A and B are shown apart, each in its own frame.
Chain A
Amino acid sequence: MDRILFGDNQFFAVNHISDEKSRAQSIKFKEDKTILDTIDISRNLGVETFMCTTHDRIYNICDMVRADPDKYSKFSIYPCMPYAHKYANAVTELGIMGTIKHYVPGNFFGSIFKGGMAVVSKDYVSIMELLIDAEMKMFKNINTPVIFLQNVITDLLLGLNMKDILKAYHDYVIKKYNAEPGYITMNMPMLLDKLESVGIKNPIICSSINKAGFRMSGGMELYEHTLKTRQLRAIAMQVLGGGAIPAKEALAYVCSLPNVASILFGASSKQNISQTISLINEFDEQNRKLK
């Protein structure tokens, strides 16, 4: 995994501290081209991995990437599935079975061979596999070396103790996509225990890690202890604590932690993108010298 990953919240009006900023982002990124232009800014500064939800608009971004294979030869996407609001709204509207029918490729009864059999035989893992395939369709012919399960689903399964499904996801991503499975969570230490309990070693786990302790469930101390003493490839997200911590201080903190393989960040302006990247590089260099 690359040290720095470029995220997508800013493109889809996900802002944890201000509805007004969300709206401004919606307006700024109305055109898909503007999104790709911003991704290109990060690429030109050496960040070639874009980590994104399987939002409907990513279809168009992928089309544009496929249309220019030379330009994007080193480019990778880490998909994060599913785009939860899409399904949450669908479940409210259509119910759970209705949602499966709606999203499984070529409609549910069209894929009767796998899907239909799955319901009859109560093989719910097969249904999950069909949904993964549906989400992965948009990334055809694009390099996706790590595929993530979104935190709403990871944490839902974690709370329900559905560890066999977490494991089935792991196995299917490796088998079908020859990629590494990753998990996004707001409960990193608890998830690591659960993954290890089903034999998943050294997992890729993306979670909030920041100096403010924001969304570090179970507490900051437990997170730091887990990073110091356990085996995992951590990705730090929400490193600015939703905007609570000044960038320099925030990045100095995450860069100093052991076992943080990558840092995920999102930004809209060239200035913020470039500042974040150079700060991370600077702190990494300092820490290397100290060792």
Chain B
Amino acid sequence: MIKVALIGAGKMGISHLSILGAHPLVEIVGVADTSKIVNDVLEKYSGMKTFTDYKKMLDEVKPDAVFVSVPTKFHASFVEDLLNRNIHVFVEKPFCLNAAQGENLIRLAKGKGLVNQVGYHNKFVGTFEEVKRLVNSGVLGELNHFIGEAYGPVVIRKKQETWRSDPEEGGGCLMDYASHVIDLINYLVSPITKVHGSLLKSIYSTQVEDAVYALLETSNHVSGVLSVNWSDETHRKMSTGITIIGSKGKIISDASELKVFLKSDDVPAGYSKGWNIKYVTDLTHGVDFYLRGEEYSAQIDYFINAVAGKGPNDKNSFESAWNTDYAISLIKNKKN
């Protein structure tokens, strides 16, 4: 059994905890949270050992691996502490507040040979996995342009402030929401290395942006547009999509539906010239325990397998998440 602990039992933390609780290879050895009520409930009903001080927890329960889901401003120092104690780390997205913080952590994790993963779960969504496969196969020809989008109803009125509305703590649509799309572009096209201009717009929030629009360029010189707005209540929940245009075809994909247009007859198995439509239901691998989407269980399975020495640690490594932090910093620096 792999001894796993959690730091931060908020919305994502509790979700991870439940999936870990059902995982046959995992023993949950401790939970650290600052909320007394959350700790009480977990002790009383789940019989878990809880702590308000995470360092005390680490000293006492000596986990093999730790999940970190606390506000982004704490990521760098917590993760550094964990790596120094030779603990494998899964940390929520975004990785760090800035690109400089992450560099040190990448070195540390590599040097110590520790498993490191960041919670960009879209890479485990069936449709996006298929997009990756298609792009890698070269079926789109020479890539020319992309559009990365996300819309959803996070901030739909002026409201009470939380850490998500504090730019110093990693709040705002760019870090909290657009990061998912940026990470997906980095993965599916190539890392973003140039930003030609960006707009960070407030709609309801007073301290942070609610929408991000930017003109981007990747390391392989593909241009693209980023359009993200978390104050859009025409979507029931976060809806993330990507369009990739190449010389031989075009892909339009979101988390549920994949549309592929191919110009020639030279196509991969299961595809034909013209439009092809596939659904996530056909592209999803089943999981042993389902909570909010196969991707949440799949990313945890992937991490646990890597810790158990049974699988790779390539997807969502600190290094790949650093590329996203870097792109975020470029967008911030280019804002108009």
Chain B residue at smallest Cβ distance from A159? B18
CB of B254 closer than 8 Å to a CB of A:
yes
CB of B58 closer than 8 Å to a CB of A:
no
Interface stretch of the complex, out of B89-97, B111-119, B185-193, B287-295: B287-295
B236 and A22 contacting across the interface, CB-CB below 8 Å? yes
Tier of interface size on chain A: 35 or more
Q: How far is the CA of A44 from the CA of B280 in the complex (A)?
A: 34
A97 and B37 contacting across the interface, CB-CB below 8 Å? yes
B256 and A159 contacting across the interface, CB-CB below 8 Å? no
Q: How far is the CA of A172 from the CA of B148 in the complex (A)?
A: 47
Per-residue 0/1 for A19-40: is the Cβ within 8 Å of any B Cβ (1 yes, 0 no)? 1101100100000000000000
CB of A117 closer than 8 Å to a CB of B:
no
Interface stretch of the complex, out of B44-52, B69-77, B210-218, B312-320: B44-52
How near does chain B come to A164, taking the closest CB pair, in angstroms?
Answer: 6
CB of A283 closer than 8 Å to a CB of B:
no
Per-residue 0/1 for A42-84: is the Cβ within 8 Å of any B Cβ (1 yes, 0 no)? 0000000000000000000000000000000000000000000
User: What are the residues of chain A within 8 A of B289 when measuring CB–CB?
Assistant: 155, 159, 187, 190, 217-218
CB of A3 closer than 8 Å to a CB of B:
no
User: What are the residues of chain B within 8 A of A165 when measuring CB–CB?
Assistant: 45
User: What are the residues of chain A within 8 A of B35 when measuring CB–CB?
Assistant: 96
B236 and A216 contacting across the interface, CB-CB below 8 Å? no
A124 and B44 contacting across the interface, CB-CB below 8 Å? yes
A190 and B281 contacting across the interface, CB-CB below 8 Å? no
Interface stretch of the complex, out of B78-86, B153-161, B262-270, B323-331: B153-161
Per-residue 0/1 for B271-296: is the Cβ within 8 Å of any A Cβ (1 yes, 0 no)? 00000000111101011111110000
User: Could you list 25 A-B pairs, sorted by A, with CB under 8 Å?
Assistant: A12-B236, A16-B280, A19-B239, A19-B254, A92-B164, A93-B160, A93-B162, A94-B160, A96-B35, A97-B37, A124-B40, A155-B289, A156-B18, A157-B18, A159-B17, A159-B21, A162-B46, A164-B45, A165-B45, A186-B290, A190-B22, A214-B286, A217-B287, A218-B289, A244-B282
CB of B257 closer than 8 Å to a CB of A:
yes
Main DSSP-derived SS at the A contact region: helix
B286 and A162 contacting across the interface, CB-CB below 8 Å? no
User: What are the residues of chain B within 8 A of A187 when measuring CB–CB?
Assistant: 22, 289-290
Main DSSP-derived SS at the B contact region: mixed
CB of A215 closer than 8 Å to a CB of B:
yes
Select which of A160, A186, A242 is within 8 A of B21 by beta carbon: A160
Which of the listed residues A85, A93, A157, A160 has the most CB atoms from chain B within 10 Å of its own CB? Answer: A160
Chain A residue at smallest Cβ distance from B236? A13
Q: How far is the CA of A178 from the CA of B320 in the complex (A)?
A: 54
CB of A134 closer than 8 Å to a CB of B:
no
CB of A212 closer than 8 Å to a CB of B:
yes
- Additional A-B contacts beyond A18-B257, A160-B18 (19; CB < 8 A): A12-B236, A19-B241, A89-B153, A92-B154, A96-B35, A124-B40, A124-B45, A155-B290, A156-B14, A156-B15, A156-B291, A159-B291, A164-B45, A165-B45, A215-B290, A217-B287, A217-B288, A217-B289, A244-B282
Chain B residue at smallest Cβ distance from A245? B281
User: What are the residues of chain B within 8 A of A214 when measuring CB–CB?
Assistant: 281, 284, 286
User: What are the residues of chain A within 8 A of B280 when measuring CB–CB?
Assistant: 16-17, 242
User: What are the residues of chain A within 8 A of B241 when measuring CB–CB?
Assistant: 19
User: What are the residues of chain B within 8 A of A119 when measuring CB–CB?
Assistant: 37
Chain B residue at smallest Cβ distance from A23? B234
CB of B61 closer than 8 Å to a CB of A:
no
B44 and A122 contacting across the interface, CB-CB below 8 Å? yes
Q: How far is the CA of A155 from the CA of B41 in the complex (A)?
A: 16
How near does chain B come to A212, taking the closest CB pair, in angstroms?
Answer: 7
Chain A residue at smallest Cβ distance from B254? A19
Q: Which chain B residues numbered 16 to 40 have a C-beta less than 8 Å away from chain A?
A: 17-22, 35, 37-38, 40
B287 and A124 contacting across the interface, CB-CB below 8 Å? no
How near does chain B come to A116, taking the closest CB pair, in angstroms?
Answer: 14
User: What are the residues of chain A within 8 A of B236 when measuring CB–CB?
Assistant: 12-14, 22, 85
Chain A residue at smallest Cβ distance from B18? A159
Minimum-distance CB pairs A-B, first 3: A159-B18, A186-B290, A242-B281
When A156-B18, A243-B279 are in contact, do A124 and B160 touch as well, CB less than 8 Å? Answer: no
B284 and A92 contacting across the interface, CB-CB below 8 Å? no
CB of A158 closer than 8 Å to a CB of B:
yes
CB of B310 closer than 8 Å to a CB of A:
no
Q: How far is the CA of A280 from the CA of B48 in the complex (A)?
A: 46
